Chains A and B, each alone.
Chain A
């Protein structure tokens, strides 16, 4: 019985995901939450400055939500690219 050697089937030019990207991914969830909270804080301060409560409070909260989603999407997209590249490499080797 010959078990395929996984180590040997790994393409030589496989690039491990960047550690920095992984570290940022660890914090993706809390980054999203922090963006929403930061949005509300910035909005509250702007409303406090201009006396427009709750216009900036709500709109900045929404912007924080959008920004948080965008950040998480950018981070996970990077991981997708790495997975796709790895798949392509494996197909090329076969």
Chain B
């Protein structure tokens, strides 16, 4: 398998269906499993809560809860019982999905190929390197934004935002298009930012993994093998920051956009 084929193989999803109705089975399976992991862990922790002497894991989870709650307080103007749980879910889920990027790129595809007996079976285990995942999440947030805009501002209040913003009452047609573009750009920027960062990160891991291909050359392995380990370690440490930051940005911008939807119409 050549370099290009290797990269293409790792960036192709295991899918069924055609055209619009293509389902990326690996993306769906991994994201559902990670979501289930959050639910099961939360349920188990909820049953074993200690108020007097909380254990290490409970302390760790409480620190995440505090972190999210502080951010919601800072970035969200009003009170809505949905926002904090939503922000927490987004943060944890996106972080876990991003974390899959740190697992060695060949490990799961190789195991999957062994299990299925198909040496060309596709498997991409990082759901956030699939634009479908990030767009689905951001569109869900977008639906909530529109819902709260209607609920808080009312139909006319929301329509006024389209009619008179940003150029006042004399440029209504332009205002409508501009506000429409602005609204569409919100989920788009959320989705593209997360997808772009994670896809690029995965690609760098693949390029570093390709260095191992030169091991077959012989004596050169003495140079390339340590270099690959070093580069992988460096990128892994840096990427650990990236995955956390991206999960954090997705969460905070969701809070900010929902906060903007909760502002009364002027």
Chain A count of residues within 8 A CB distance of the other chain: 24
User: Which of B75, B178, B188, B196 makes the CB contact (< 8 A) with A20?
Assistant: B75
Residues of A within 8 A of B249 (CB): 23, 26-27
Interface on chain B toward A: helix, strand, loop, or mixed SS?
A: helix
Q: Is B48 on the interface with A (CB-CB < 8 A)? A: no
Q: Is A30 on the interface with B (CB-CB < 8 A)? A: yes
**Cβ < 8 Å to A, chain B residues 154-200:** 166, 174, 177-178, 180-182, 184-186, 188-189, 192-193, 196
Which residue of B is nearest A31, CB measured? B189
Distance in Å: Cβ of B151 to nearest Cβ of chain A:
21
The A/B interface has a contact count, at CB < 8 Å, of 68
Contacts A38-B181, A60-B177, A60-B181 given; does A24 touch B256 at CB 8 Å: yes
Complex Cα gap A39–B181 (Å): 5
Contacts A20-B74, A27-B249, A34-B192 given; does A64 touch B181 at CB 8 Å: yes
> B: which residues have CB within 8 A of A?
71, 74-75, 166, 174, 177-178, 180-182, 184-186, 188-189, 192-193, 196, 249, 252-253, 256, 259
> A: which residues have CB within 8 A of B?
19-20, 23-24, 26-27, 30-31, 33-35, 37-39, 41-42, 46, 60, 63-64, 67-68, 70-71
Interface on chain A toward B: helix, strand, loop, or mixed SS?
A: helix
A23 B252 Cβ-Cβ under 8 A: yes
Residues of A within 8 A of B182 (CB): 35, 38, 67, 71
